[in-house]
Structure 1
Amino acid sequence: MEVIILGSGSPLPDPERAGPSTLVRVAGYDFLFDCGRGVLMRSAAVPVLPVSFKAVLFTHLHGDHTSDFNDVVTMRWVMSPGPNPLHVIGPVGTQKFVGATLKALESDIGYRLTHHEDLKAGPELITQEVEQGVVLENGEVKITASPTDHRPVHPSVGFRVEAEGRSVVIASDTIPCDGLDSLCVDADVLIQTVIRKSLVEAVPSQRFQDILDYHSDTEDAGRTAARGRVKTLVLNHCVPAPPPGTEDEWIAEAAAHFSGKILVSHDLLRIVV
């Protein structure tokens, strides 16, 4: 199993970091978790093309996690030599979001159908809304969802991918909660969105202060990893984005509560599990 952080950035535009998106490659399948800004540019660097995604899985429907879904849909469709339905999995609300995306793409789809005789129909998306339990299992890979807590962004879910005797948890944006803890038990890797509380508190902006109540900070992430007996904790989608050379500061805060391996993510970070 291999995990590749395609985008590690915060919601703010960053020339060095794409928006949040994680690729899990296992048993010959490519699973894409979230579709932040620049996802296909980063996947091209792997290289992985959108035609190969087995499924796109959304942890929640905040814009920074969904902004390039339209690009994934369009490029998968036009780059596929024949019908290639895309499985889209996410919390309640995903069906509405997918429908709205196709509606927004309606004119573009029409242009391409008119121009390319070999395109006989528009993109085919198979949408599955999930709350808790096994959401995909094919004999080689099992993916389980559990509710997380990113309110008022609700519902939100985390995912656990299990295959080849290994497990990876995609926590995304959440405060500590029972649903996340249930996913983390004895996981090999936990990928956790984090903020650094002291840095956020120092910004004189109420809008920035508001993010404190619905994200885990570095210490929260360390405690979650410790409770779950996780082997490796990956601090991801960090707010504010860590300047080069400051990664040890982030690691130290999490390490106060967790004795396992800790990484600070960057775009195209590869983790072999």
Structure 2
Amino acid sequence: MIEVTLLGTGSPIPDARRAGPSTLVRAGDQTFLVDCGRGVLMRTAALGVGANAISALLLTHLHSDHIADLGDVLISRWVSNFAPNQPPLPIIGPPGTAEVVENTLKAFGPDIGYRIAHHADLTAPPPVEVEEVTDGVVWGRDGVAITVAPTDHRPVAPTIGFRIEHNGASVVLAGDTVPCPTLDALAAGAGALVHTVIRKDLVDAMPMQRIRDICDYHSTVEQAADTAARAGVGILILTHYVPPIAPGQEDDWRALAATVFDRQIEIGEDLHRVEVHPGVCARQG
């Protein structure tokens, strides 16, 4: 079984009810953080998951809303891990990730220096192990395999999606993208597809061209559902709602997806959880 929790279902626009884009995936004894938008560790804390419990950080792309709390993840994991030889945090992302991580640690340089000076058991900066990828198998430990494929969020490039598999269960996390053949192939036959979505009809009605521009490189609810249908996935899990879903409007969004996808559709607030089983998928609230 793989457990998917929507940590943050928000967008670049701050929202009092929704944290920034982030998803937690638990497979066996391993815990993967996919993207790290604003407020991510507050959401993991609500689940009883600390930064030091993260097996790896997976980044779909380097837009600010998807990495806003990278520094918090790096520093919090470092100071809350009391192992004498703290292992590095694996960070898997597209080309450019290493530079972003390096510069984030530089930005927190004074803080890191203060903590090393104050705590005798902290003798080095936060250990990280960055792997930049665009395609192929990137993880294979204790029965969990992770595969990466390119997505299409141009002019943001490169961007990637992840497929996590464990004991016959599989979950694909698309990140921000328009429909593309590489995502179709990555998601083929998966138990669940976690997909970011926009409502083009609502965005087009906004007076600001800069906001309307986002329609160029995000999937609509219907397009995400069509990707799920083409790939033959069992559950479509929608997240990163733009504009934010107004209270009581979840059924409207679900109905749009249902026009092209006739299986299980999940839409929820932050901390919405879905269990994905091999062949049998059940919602857990």
Scaled by the length of structure 2, what TM-score is found? Answer: 0.95
Counterpart of 2:95 in structure 1: which amino acid?
Answer: V
Instruction: Write out per-residue CA displacement over residues 45-64 of structure 1, whole angstroms, 9 at most, x where no aligned residue.
Output: 00100001010000000000
- 2:150 pairs with 1:147: yes
Residue correspondence of structure 1 range 224-235 to structure 2 within 5 A:
224-235=227-238
- 2:129 pairs with 1:126: yes
- 2:120 pairs with 1:114: no
- Consecutive unaligned residues of structure 1, counting only runs of 5 or more, are none
Per-residue deviation at 1:84? Answer: 3.0
CA contact (8 A) 1:51 1:84 kept: no
Counterpart of 2:109 in structure 1: which amino acid?
Answer: E
Size of the alignment, in residue pairs? 273
2:212 to 209, 223, 226: 209
Instruction: Write out per-residue CA displacement over residues 169-219 of structure 1, whole angstroms, 9 at most, x where no aligned residue.
Output: 100100000111011111111010000010000001100110000000011
Match of 1:194 in 2: 197
Per-residue deviation at 1:254? Answer: 1.1
How many Å separate the matches in 2 of 1:131 and 1:85?
Answer: 22
Instruction: Write out per-residue CA displacement over residues 6-45 of structure 1, whole angstroms, 9 at most, x where no aligned residue.
Output: 1111111111100011010111111000000000000000
Instruction: Write out per-residue CA displacement over residues 106-156 of structure 1, whole angstroms, 9 at most, x where no aligned residue.
Output: 111000001111111111100000110101012410000000000111110
Match of 1:49 in 2: 50
Match of 1:81 in 2: 82
Match of 2:24 in 1: 23
- 2:69 pairs with 1:68: yes
Match of 1:39 in 2: 40
How many Å separate the matches in 2 of 1:191 and 1:265?
Answer: 12
How many Å separate the matches in 1 of 2:25 and 2:187?
Answer: 17
Percent of aligned positions that are identical: 53
2:184 to 167, 181, 200: 181
Match of 1:11 in 2: 12
- Consecutive unaligned residues of structure 2, counting only runs of 5 or more, are 277-285
Segments of 4+ moved more than 2 angstroms: none
CA contact (8 A) 1:9 1:20 kept: yes
How many Å separate the matches in 2 of 1:164 and 1:19?
Answer: 30
Counterpart of 2:274 in structure 1: which amino acid?
Answer: I
How many Å separate the matches in 1 of 2:255 and 2:97?
Answer: 37
Counterpart of 1:2 in structure 2: which amino acid?
Answer: E
RMSD over aligned CA atoms reads 0.8
Scaled by the length of structure 1, what TM-score is found? Answer: 0.99
1:157 to 160, 166, 169: 160
Equivalent position SS for 1:245: coil
Match of 2:3 in 1: 2
Instruction: Write out per-residue CA displacement over residues 217-262 of structure 1, whole angstroms, 9 at most, x where no aligned residue.
Output: 0110111010011111011101001011101111111111111111
Match of 2:172 in 1: 169
How many Å separate the matches in 1 of 2:206 and 2:82?
Answer: 50
